[in-house]
Structure 1
Amino acid sequence: MLLCDIGNTSYHFCNENREYKESVKSFDPSSVKEKVYYICVNKALHVKLHSLSNWIDLSEYIDKKKYYQTMGIDRIFAVEAINEGVIIDAGSAVTVDVVKNNEFVGGFIYPGIQAMRKTYENISPALAYSFNFECDLDIMPKNSQDAISYGYLKTLYSEVMSHNLPVILTGGDALEFKKIFRDAKVDEKLIFNSMKKIILQNEDRLC
């Protein structure tokens, strides 16, 4: 089974044996002859992929009425993967989505590490610090690095923990956020596991 999570810059493939990526700019999806189950946030690719009969758009097998109209399909599939919890997808942006009793409650979008770091740096070169994910969020900081780290992390941490639900981390910076969400589960294949779940649920329709 070949799965593909398509973003704005890359095709992220996964089969039973390995994961690999191909560039959106240079990769030709028609070169793949086997059946591919995919989701795609890149609108420019939709028409091209829909013309390829072996590329199956799994977003068509989701009840999108449960979600708001502009919600990204990657976030929707992350939510579909769990019955209850708070999902933090830590990438170029940090998305946080809350699921209770198998229902999407809502979510929000937070700047990613690099975006927020550049924001501080643009304010003043004196604030050009990396974030300290090991700073104590229970104590007001007394140095500049911890001051910007606290300002970025404390708000996110407090909001997530206020829901009193299990926390699931995914995305490229998941291990960094694991340092503050110490009891969280890291699931680097959350989207792919959700895709497999949707395929199994729609096995008759997908045959």
Structure 2
Amino acid sequence: MLLCDIGNTSYHFLKDTLDYKESVQSFDPSTLQERVFYICVNPHAKELVKDLENWIDLSGHVEISRYYETMGIDRVFACEAISDGVILDAGSAITVDRVRDGSFEGGFIYPGVQAMAQTYKNISPVLDYSFNFELDLDKMPKNSRDAISYGYLKTLYNEVMEQNMELFLTGGDAQMFAKIFPHAKIDKTLIFKGMKKIMKKAKLC
């Protein structure tokens, strides 16, 4: 069984226990002959796969009324994977969603690492720094790199910690955020777990 989470920059595949990625710019989905169960947030990629008979869109099998109309399908499937907790998905954008007793209670969207770094750079070239994920968020910064890092990370940190629930980190930048959330559980296959759960409910596997 082959699962695929199609994002803004990559096709993220899971086959058994092996996960791997292909670039959305160069990968041709028609080269795959086996059945692929997928979700997709990329409009261009969706056009490529929608008429391929062996690519099966799982988005129609989820009870979308439990969420909100414009919510990204990747967020929906991540939420389907857990019963209780907060999910921080660190990708092109950062999404934070809360699930309690199996029900989605809401969430918010925050700029991703690269997007926010570019924002600071656009303000002034002297603010062109990488973020310091190892700074002490309990102390006011005394240099420019830590100042922009604090401004970016402290707000997110406070909002997540206020939820007072188990935290799940997923997405490409999850490892970086583990430095400020050391007690969080890192699970980069969380969306795939949600996909498997929906497939089981729909008797697709």
TM-score for both structures, normalised by structure 1? 0.92
Q: How does 1:11-22 map to 2 (within 5 A)?
A: 11-22=11-22
CA RMSD of aligned residues (A): 1.6
Deviates more, 1:130-139 or 1:180-189: 130-139
Structure 2 residue runs of 5 or longer lacking an equivalent are none
Quote the Cα distance in structure 1 between the aligned partners of 2:46 and 2:128: 39
Q: Does the CA-based 8 Å contact 2:98-2:105 persist in structure 1?
A: yes
Counterpart code for 2:3? L
Q: Does the CA-based 8 Å contact 2:87-2:97 persist in structure 1?
A: yes
Q: How many residues align?
A: 205
Quote the Cα distance in structure 2 between the aligned partners of 1:173 and 1:114: 10
Corresponding position of 1:196: 196
Matched, 1:124 2:124: yes
Corresponding position of 2:29: 29
Quote the Cα distance in structure 1 between the aligned partners of 2:47 and 2:132: 43
Quote the Cα distance in structure 1 between the aligned partners of 2:192 and 2:84: 18
Structure 1 residue runs of 5 or longer lacking an equivalent are none
Quote the Cα distance in structure 2 between the aligned partners of 1:25 and 1:154: 35
Deviations 1:135-168, CA, capped at 9 Å, x for gaps: 1111112222211111111100000110100110
Quote the Cα distance in structure 1 between the aligned partners of 2:175 and 2:23: 25
SS in 1 for 2:94: strand
Matched, 1:70 2:66: no
Deviations 1:19-74, CA, capped at 9 Å, x for gaps: 23333344332322211111111233435433222211111110000111111100
Percent of residue pairs identical? 64
Corresponding position of 2:94: 94
Quote the Cα distance in structure 1 between the aligned partners of 2:151 and 2:177: 15
Corresponding position of 2:178: 178
SS in 1 for 2:49: helix
Q: Does the CA-based 8 Å contact 2:6-2:45 persist in structure 1?
A: no
